[in-house]
Structures are given as C-alpha cells and as structure tokens.
Amino acid sequence: MKILVVGAGATGGYFGTMLARSGQDVTFLVRPARAAALRERGLRVVGRDEEWRVDPGLVTADELAAAPVPYDLVLLSVKATGLARAAEDLAPAVGPDTVIVPQLNGLAHLEALNERFGADRVLAAVTKVVTTLDETTGDILRLAPLAQLILGEQDGGSATPRVEAVRAVLAGAGIDARVPENAVTAMWHKWVFITTIGALTSLMRGTVGEINAVPGGTELATALLDEASAVAAAAGHPVPEGERKTTLDVVTAAGSPMVPSLYRDLVSGAPTEVEHLFGDLVARARRLGVPTPLMDLATLHLRVHQARVATSR
C-alpha cells in the first residue's frame, strides 16, 4: 500500500515510522525546513529504552504539486490550525480510490474534509498515542507504548473491505488498529475526554494532580465532564458509564502530573485549537439546547489567549 503521512510530528512521525519499519511504502509530506532536517538526521523515535531511526521518503507541497501522485492511504496528522493548508497541500495525492484517515481530535475536520474531497474518501478515526516532539532535535519522544488507531466509515455499521484493508496494514506495523461499532461515536467520546481535561487544566493553570489537591478541584473536574457528556448524549452519542468512570478517574487522579498538549500550547504562548475543540462543542451545545456554562468559560478563556497570540505575530 502506498502511504502518504501528512506531517512528521509527534503523531504522524510516530505512526509513519512504525509503518516504514514494517516495510510499507511510506512518504512524509513536510515543510522544506523539516525535510532538510530529516534528510540530515533521519526520523528518530526515542524513549522507552529504544531508538528507532528511518530515512523516510520525503516530499514537499511544491514537489507534490509539480508531479502529482495518487496514494492509496493518507494519514493526516496535523493540528486543526493547519488543516486548511494541509488539505490544499495533499490534494495532488488524492485519487479516486484514496482513503484519508484524519488523526485530529473533535469532529469539525470531518465536515471540512468531506467538503474538500468527498465523504466517500474520508474515514472517521480516533488516535491514541503518548508522544511529544523534542523541539531541539526534532526527535519524537515516546513516553508510553500506546499506539492505537480506531477507524471506520462515517455512517457506522460493519467494517467495509477498505476499512479492513487499512486496519490490516496498521496492525501489521504493530499498531493497535480497531474497528468499533460506530467510529463517529468513538470520536465523540474522545472529544468529551479532550475537552474535559483541556478545560480543567487551562482554566486552573495546573496539572490534574495540583487541581485535585485543593478544595473544589475534583468537583470542577466532575462538572466539566458532566457538561461535555451531556452534549454528546444530546447529539446521539452517550458516553457509557464504564467509559465515563475511566475518564473521571483520569481527571481526578491524586498526584497526577498529566496535562494535555492544549495546555502546553497555552502556557508556552502558542496558538491553540480552541475553535476546533471548544468553539465547535459549545456551538453544538447551543443548537441542541444543552447548557454548558463552564465550557463556555473555558472557551472564552482560550479565545482571549488566541487573540493575544494573533496580535503578537
């Protein structure tokens, strides 16, 4: 299978490296500066007492546009803030049988990709991975062995032949690839988790453990989860009690150093995915008639930060 990975960061670089190590034909679509660094140093995944290095196939947007090549599978691994540009960059790689698997959180990207490429080319997907990018070396730091990709057709139902084909390729690379009963429901459930922990840590400017160590911290975490879960339920994707408990355990864990990438972007002064993750959630809540006062507050907080970042650039 001919595979294009859009982005060679913490997520795309990790999954792409696993696929390349398994013998798949993998090319990374990257910016010129990232391409130059990877040609010099290679793409490295480090941590967990291991180091993987591949010398991957690389292509820039200009090169792809000059010589369009259709790919069988596209893993779209960019942040929501870069989605529009990435969609334009990868367009020359999309043929009539190309399957696009987006590795973004939330749901708004599905609508954008469906409009640009057609819903028949885009799968619903959820990615779970614990990696980060070393900004100094460009290496991918592997913090835990988790590498899971849940995928399926957007309309739910049983696995189709193309979904199974993608799942088999991913599984052959050591990726925990699963096809759930409804992949869009799985996306909603991760969205609930991401917005709960993102709102909690961003509003309180602390780790999960720090927040739960003070009076009111656990109650805030619970209330945020309740709001996000209520939106999912109203949209037809209720969070099962067992999954809700798992999320609650994570966001109320005593002593936990956990913070999401959104929090790290916030405290470093970088742009965040506020509109994609929070703006879209509260907009859907309004349409569904679900009150979300705490999520509204988190959204406002992040929008003020976003405006400040935009003004300073």
Q: For residue range 289-309, list pLDDT tens digits in order.
A: 999 999 999 999 999 999 999
List, in sequence order, the alpha helices (H) in 30-182. 32-41, 61-66, 83-90, 108-117, 161-172
Any idea which residue has 């976003």 for tokens? Answer: 306
pLDDT score for 34: 95
CA angle centred on 109, ends 108 and 110, rounded to 5°? 90
Q: For all residues of the chain together, what is the average pLDDT?
A: 96
Average pLDDT over residues 2-12: 96
pLDDT tens string 205-226: 999 999 999 999 999 999 999 9
pLDDT score for 288: 98
Q: Is the dihedral of CA 161, 8, 310, 84 positive or negative?
A: negative
0.85 surpassed by pTM: yes
Least confident of 128-142, 185-199, 208-222: 128-142
pLDDT score for 157: 67
Q: Is the pLDDT of residue 311 over 90?
A: yes
Q: Is the pLDDT of residue 198 over 90?
A: yes
